[in-house]
Amino acid sequence: MGELKKFFFDTYALFEIIHENKNYIPYLKVGVMTTKLNLMELHYRLLSLYGKEIADTAFKRFLPFSVEFLDDDIKEANQFKLINKKKKLSYVDCLGYIISRKRNVKFLTGDIQFKDVENVEFVK
């Protein structure tokens, strides 16, 4: 039996999974990777839309999939952000993208700024 394929889920992807976007159904059967910073963004968004209970439930659901990051990851993310400053990428997205590259997994997102970026699985 083969190893489970993994993706780094950015906040956009996590949000779409929660909202049962049909285009994200295939990604329910893959390994999930994210960071606590993505969970922070997701929690805030859900808190503002639906309240504490739903936000807390989603945070708890994805927490086991969060990975740690290193100081060098932060520095590389800032370099990536600077190189792509015209795209106005968020710090959290840049960090997630760098982590995905270092761990040799695709960065799963629907953020238009990442549409034609290498190592990205772009899904709307």
CA–CA dist 35, 68 (Å, integer): 7
| 117 three-state secondary structure | coil
Q: In what order do the strands lie in the sheet with 31-33?
A: 31-33, 6-9, 106-109, 120-122
Amino acid, single-letter form, for residue 72:
D
Amino acid 3: pLDDT: 67
CA–CA dist 16, 28 (Å, integer): 11
pLDDT tens by residue, 5-36: 999 999 999 999 999 999 999 999 999 999 99
Q: CATH number of the domain at 6-122, please? A: 3.40.50.1010
Amino acid 4: pLDDT: 81
Q: Compute CA distances 4 → 95, 105, 110, whole Å.
A: 23, 11, 22
Question: What does residue 14 show for φ and ψ, rounded to 5 degrees?
Answer: -60, -40
Amino acid 50: pLDDT: 98
Counting as low any pLDDT under 50, the low residues of the chain are 1
Amino acid 2: pLDDT: 58
